[in-house]
Amino acid sequence: MRTYLRTIVEDNTTRIGKIFDYSIQFLILLSLVTFSLETLPGISKSTFDLLRGVETFCVIVFSVEYILRIYVAEKPFKYIFSFYGLIDLIAILPFYLPGSVGLSYLRMFRVFRVFRALKLIRYNRALNRFHIAARIVREEIVLFFIVTSILMFLTAAGIYFFENEAQPDQFASIFHSLWWAVVTLTTVGYGDVYPITMGGKMFTFFVLVIGVGIVTVPAGLVATALSKAREIQRVELKAAGIEIDEEY
Amino acid sequence: MRTYLRTIVEDNTTRIGKIFDYSIQFLILLSLVTFSLETLPGISKSTFDLLRGVETFCVIVFSVEYILRIYVAEKPFKYIFSFYGLIDLIAILPFYLPGSVGLSYLRMFRVFRVFRALKLIRYNRALNRFHIAARIVREEIVLFFIVTSILMFLTAAGIYFFENEAQPDQFASIFHSLWWAVVTLTTVGYGDVYPITMGGKMFTFFVLVIGVGIVTVPAGLVATALSKAREIQRVELKAAGIEIDEEY
Amino acid sequence: MRTYLRTIVEDNTTRIGKIFDYSIQFLILLSLVTFSLETLPGISKSTFDLLRGVETFCVIVFSVEYILRIYVAEKPFKYIFSFYGLIDLIAILPFYLPGSVGLSYLRMFRVFRVFRALKLIRYNRALNRFHIAARIVREEIVLFFIVTSILMFLTAAGIYFFENEAQPDQFASIFHSLWWAVVTLTTVGYGDVYPITMGGKMFTFFVLVIGVGIVTVPAGLVATALSKAREIQRVELKAAGIEIDEEY
Amino acid sequence: MRTYLRTIVEDNTTRIGKIFDYSIQFLILLSLVTFSLETLPGISKSTFDLLRGVETFCVIVFSVEYILRIYVAEKPFKYIFSFYGLIDLIAILPFYLPGSVGLSYLRMFRVFRVFRALKLIRYNRALNRFHIAARIVREEIVLFFIVTSILMFLTAAGIYFFENEAQPDQFASIFHSLWWAVVTLTTVGYGDVYPITMGGKMFTFFVLVIGVGIVTVPAGLVATALSKAREIQRVELKAAGIEIDEEY
């Protein structure tokens, strides 16, 4: 019995395992849509009740799934404290606890459960490439994170020096200026705060010319690392004697 | 007769075939300009009539071309249901149907017909590289699409949590917040909606630092894949004994 | 005499040639600063006269230099109709012609003369890499230019369909919508025009998710091509028996 | 004695050296937080006194550290005039000088001291890769800097020509227009200044299509250079017989 259930819950190569997985994935998406629809202002009482009904149904299925997964797991505690185990728990817990609004928001982390769908579309190799790429660029990303942090701090402190007097509300402190710094260096530029003094504009000029390039380098690093990861994986697969598509 | 027409319509290596292709390309651009000019407010009746005249002329030529292409095609149905066959039909259909405004807009898809011009400038190899690159990064793009979707949803749900109370109109629901999320994560930042609470700004700070990088990775992936595709193509062409420019 | 002058004007390896080149470069920058300062509102009569004096001095030197370059050139007409010959002429011409305001603006193209400075810092190899890279990505850039053009047109036509009724002033025609399309797809997002209807926002959502990636690919292509160009150049230099810095 | 102190101050492989380094790093971060908190408007007298106390404590420790570093250095003057020596001095100097506000801001450069933390997390190899990458792309970055400068100037001069008459305040001179140029070409787009004339918008259209790509290339260059630097380093380490992680 337990072995049979394991085939359904954990194995997605069998027909019934696939149906189970696709159904769960569908319910995850359905419950996310429900979660989003509930926030719409001015929805009628009947619609709200319908959404709650769908929500309740989803949570019951997820709860059964959660218990099943613990039941069929070879090492139940390993599953419970794994990433997916915790996500699965967070996905259902808010429903059972006397819910404050904040707690109820935890439901949104259900979205992480869709990652399991990757098993269905057999993207193990692509995921593996992401792990290889992450290992390759780990150090560079940390370095850029430190450089970006320093750049943000200096930018915020600098603009505070130039603009605080002219715009005491927008650039009230270095913490307020950090908001401007992140919106500027990521090139979002909402336009809610911007320098108006000559000094502030010249400072921003130099910050933009130098800083914008620095902030966008990590994305390029990840892209080249993924390209490199493909080659590494190819060599590893060949070494392991696994057949690979030549056009790959 | 049919063979001769085929030379004109489908072959662009002959002189007459080239003239035919260039004329059609010119008419496509002309009809797109006409389509755009018609939307200008306050154009006079006489200008409008002139534009309609040009439009009618273009559509008649396109119709004749469409019938010709069906006539000369070895497998007419294959052409009719091909990408270009459908585009060719959509390009003329709105003219013949009693046109609602929405239907008439389909004319804008004529723009896809300009892709045929690539045959004229002999970009077969470059197009082929795009196909190779697409095959290389297919899985990574799908993965990034899933990650980006999850990121967008979490960003929208998060900002809704922080800003809904302070700005009930701009962040009325998760769907409204999604608008803010896409405008922010793609760094467009119109400035029509932005967080004003301390919590919302701090949340945006972290979303920007992490999220902006993720959203821009796919462009880098495509760039490196196209570079890789060039090498693959070079090897394939050499293997096929096709002469390639050494400086290439 | 002519040979000696040629050493000064065209050769920058000799001491006097270097002094000549650095002096001209300095005057180019000076005349650009003068050109910019003249546009400042509310500058006094005396300052303006000073700026004009500097300007006159620069133009006289540039004129003498232009005549010298024609005099020393082995093929004077080749120089006159070369890129630099035309730029050199445009740099001085507005001064001698009875100047309309528009004509006087041509002075700003003097800025192109600073490219000559690259000879001074010996960046021939780096420039050569740019030529190799340009040849590598030429086809891809043209393809992306066509795709971007089509994307811009479809985006403009689409948003016009959704927003024209709601915002007849901002989205008055497809040409007006093109302004929005370019500001959005390049992620500038001034915030002077943005969709306000539900349909327009959903349309923008999909355009941003797909389009932003496409528009930023060419920059990545150029970056990878320059990296490739370095390798090609290395091989070429080695083949030519030219010594290269091993750490290079 | 001096040798023992050197072990503490300069060596971070010993237990006591590590404790010393981590303590200093913690104090640097603490003093930066203090510096930022002091700028908050409306903090109470008692909080301000507390922050000043923390500040005074940090500066005393930094001063002792500075004297120690001079004392233990084999070549004291070399340390004093090194990058870190100057930063260490700037970090404490404003405290001892009768401080004008401007001088007191120098404290923010303390942030550069956190770079020393990289020794702690043993990122020597990653830092070395950055040096290699910098040497690789030095020439290209200089070229792009020149091209970007020229592009900015031409963009500013061009928009001034088109918009000065319509918006004499926003585009008052070429220097004012430079602000718009940098905000536009880096795609920040605050929305405080943007073209409103037909000519200015068409000019911006072409500037954006061509210019945005150019400005983002350097980031891609750095990314590919870092990838190349990894390979170069790998070869160098192998040649030096240093064992490297195969998965590296």
Angstrom distance (rounded) from CA B199 to CA C45: 54
> C100 falls in which pLDDT band (50, 70, 90)?
low
Angstrom distance (rounded) from CA B123 to CA B128: 8
Return the ∠ at Cα C220 (arms to C219 and C224), rounded to 5°. 120
Write the pLDDT tens digit of every residue in D5-62.
888 888 777 888 888 888 988 999 998 899 899 888 888 999 989 998 998 999 999 9
Angstrom distance (rounded) from CA D29 to CA B90: 64
Tell me, yes or no, if A209 comes closer than 8 A to chain D by beta carbon. Answer: yes
DSSP string, D126-145: HHHHHHHHHHHHHHHHHHHH
| A134's tokens | 């992450």
Supply the pTM of this predicted model: 0.90
DSSP label at residue C34 = H
Provide the pLDDT for residue C102: 67
Provide the pLDDT for residue B241: 81
Q: Taking the domains of chain C in order of start, what are their residue ranges?
A: 2-119, 126-239
Write the pLDDT tens digit of every residue in A168-192.
999 999 999 999 999 999 999 999 9
Do the Cβ atoms of B208 and A182 come within 8 Å? yes
Provide the pLDDT for residue B171: 93
Write the pLDDT tens digit of every residue in B63-94.
999 999 999 888 889 999 988 888 888 888 88
Write the pLDDT tens digit of every residue in A17-75.
888 888 988 999 998 899 899 888 888 999 989 998 998 899 999 999 999 999 988 88
Q: How many CB pairs under 8 A join A and B?
A: 117
> C16 falls in which pLDDT band (50, 70, 90)?
confident
Residue in B128, B173, B177 to test binding to A, most A beta-carbons within 10 Å: B173
| D195's tokens | 């073209």
Q: What is the share, in percent, of chain B residues with pLDDT greater than 70?
A: 96
Provide the pLDDT for residue A216: 86
Do the Cβ atoms of C114 and D150 come within 8 Å? yes
Angstrom distance (rounded) from CA C160 to CA A50: 37
Angstrom distance (rounded) from CA A72 to CA A79: 10
Nearest to D2 by CA among D82, D80, D78, D73: D73
Average pLDDT over residues B137-141: 89
For the ranges A23-32, B66-75, D119-128, D197-206, the lowest mean pLDDT is seen at D119-128
Residue type (1 letter), D87:
I
Helices assigned H by DSSP within chain D: 2-10, 15-38, 45-72, 76-80, 83-96, 101-104, 117-120, 124-163, 174-185, 198-239
Do the Cβ atoms of D223 and A224 come within 8 Å? yes
Write the pLDDT tens digit of every residue in C167-184.
999 999 999 999 999 999
DSSP string, A78-104: HHHTSHHHHHHHHHHHHHHS---HHHH
The residues, ordered by sequence, that sit 6+ positions from D136 with a Cβ below 8 Å of its Cβ are C230, D225, D228, D229
Q: Is the pLDDT of residue B34 over 80?
A: yes
Do the Cβ atoms of D188 and A184 come within 8 Å? yes
Angstrom distance (rounded) from CA B166 to CA D141: 45
**What is the chain A residue with the closest CA to C224?**
A224
Return the ∠ at Cα B145 (arms to A52 and C219), rounded to 5°. 145
> C247 falls in which pLDDT band (50, 70, 90)?
very low
Average pLDDT over residues C46-73: 91
Q: Is the pLDDT of residue C99 over 70?
A: no
Q: Is the pLDDT of residue B137 over 60?
A: yes
Angstrom distance (rounded) from CA A103 to CA A94: 6
Angstrom distance (rounded) from CA B42 to CA D93: 69
> B5 falls in which pLDDT band (50, 70, 90)?
confident
Provide the shortest C-alpha distance from residue A192 to chain B (in Å). Answer: 7
Query: Which of D32, D112, D223 is opposite residue A221, by nearest beta carbon?
Result: D223
Average pLDDT over residues B138-153: 90
Q: What is the share, in percent, of chain A residues with pLDDT greater than 90?
A: 38
Q: Which residues of A are less than 8 Å from B224 in CB distance? A: 223-224, 226-227
Write the pLDDT tens digit of every residue in C65-81.
999 999 988 889 999 99
Q: How many CB pairs under 8 A join C and D?
A: 115
Provide the pLDDT for residue C101: 64
Q: Which residues of B are less than 8 Å from D190 in CB distance? A: 191
DSSP string, A162-220: HHTTT-TTTTSSHHHHHHHHHHHHTT---SSS---SHHHHHHHHHHHHHHHHHHHHHHH
The residues, ordered by sequence, that sit 6+ positions from B18 with a Cβ below 8 Å of its Cβ are B12, B120
- Neighbouring CB atoms inside 10 A of C4's CB total 10
Residue type (1 letter), C113:
R
Angstrom distance (rounded) from CA C212 to CA A212: 17
Query: Which of B140, B150, B194 is opposite residue A111, by nearest beta carbon?
Result: B150
Tell me, yes or no, if C148 comes closer than 8 A to chain D by beta carbon. Answer: yes
Mean residue pLDDT across chain D: 87
Do the Cβ atoms of D172 and C40 come within 8 Å? yes
Residue in D132, D135, D140, D214 to test binding to C, most C beta-carbons within 10 Å: D140
Do the Cβ atoms of D129 and A140 come within 8 Å? yes
Tell me, yes or no, if C179 comes closer than 8 A to chain B by beta carbon. Answer: no
Tell me, yes or no, if A36 comes closer than 8 A to chain D by beta carbon. Answer: no
Residue type (1 letter), B8:
I
Average pLDDT over residues C96-122: 75
Angstrom distance (rounded) from CA B177 to CA B212: 17
Average pLDDT over residues C96-119: 76
**What is the chain B residue with the closest CA to C160?**
B39
Q: Which residues of A are less than 8 Å from B219 in CB distance? A: 223
Angstrom distance (rounded) from CA A115 to CA A107: 16
| B163's tokens | 């800003």
Residue in D164, D209, D228 to test binding to C, most C beta-carbons within 10 Å: D209
DSSP label at residue C121 = T
Angstrom distance (rounded) from CA A220 to CA C232: 22
Angstrom distance (rounded) from CA C80 to CA C74: 12
Provide the pLDDT for residue B247: 47
Query: Which of B148, B219, B247 is opposite residue C135, by nearest beta carbon?
Result: B247
Which chains contact A through at least 3 pairs of Cβ atoms less than 8 Å apart? B, C, D
> D193 falls in which pLDDT band (50, 70, 90)?
very high
Domain B2-119: assigned CATH number: 1.20.120.350
Average pLDDT over residues D112-117: 78
Write the pLDDT tens digit of every residue in B44-60.
999 989 998 998 899 99
Mean residue pLDDT across chain C: 87
What is the CB-side half-sphere exposure of residue B96 using CA atoms within 13 A? 9
Distances in Å between the Cα of A228 and the Cα atoms of A129, A132, A134, B226, B228 are 9, 9, 11, 14, 11
Do the Cβ atoms of B142 and A123 come within 8 Å? yes
CB A25 within 8 A of CB A116: yes
> B153 falls in which pLDDT band (50, 70, 90)?
very high
Average pLDDT over residues D228-239: 87
Distances in Å between the Cα of A154 and the Cα atoms of A32, A211, B210, D119 are 40, 11, 20, 22
Provide the greatest CA pair distance for chain A. 76
Nearest to D149 by CA among D199, D219, D209, D214: D214
Tell me, yes or no, if C224 comes closer than 8 A to chain D by beta carbon. Answer: yes
CB C191 within 8 A of CB D189: yes
Q: What is the share, in percent, of chain A residues with pLDDT greater than 70?
A: 96
- Neighbouring CB atoms inside 10 A of B151's CB total 19
Angstrom distance (rounded) from CA A153 to CA A175: 9
| A65's tokens | 């799934």
The domain defined by A126-239 folds into: Helix Hairpins (1.10.287)
Q: Is the pLDDT of residue A84 over 90?
A: no
Provide the pLDDT for residue D112: 82
Return the ∠ at Cα C183 (arms to C180 and C184), rounded to 5°. 80
CB B164 within 8 A of CB A121: no
Q: How many CB pairs under 8 A join B and C?
A: 117
Angstrom distance (rounded) from CA A2 to CA D193: 68
Angstrom distance (rounded) from CA B146 to CA B72: 44
Buried b (16+ CB within 10 A) or exposed e, D44-73: eeeeeeebeebbeebbebbbebbebbeebb
Provide the pLDDT for residue B245: 61
> D102 falls in which pLDDT band (50, 70, 90)?
low
Angstrom distance (rounded) from CA B223 to CA B214: 15
Tell me, yes or no, if A194 comes closer than 8 A to chain B by beta carbon. Answer: no
> D67 falls in which pLDDT band (50, 70, 90)?
very high
Q: Which residues of C are less than 8 Å from A189 in CB distance? A: 188-189
Tell me, yes or no, if D70 comes closer than 8 A to chain A by beta carbon. Answer: no
> Is pLDDT larger for residue B1 or for residue A61?
A61
Average pLDDT over residues C229-235: 88
Provide the pLDDT for residue B244: 66
> B97 falls in which pLDDT band (50, 70, 90)?
confident
> Is pLDDT larger for residue D182 or for residue C213?
D182
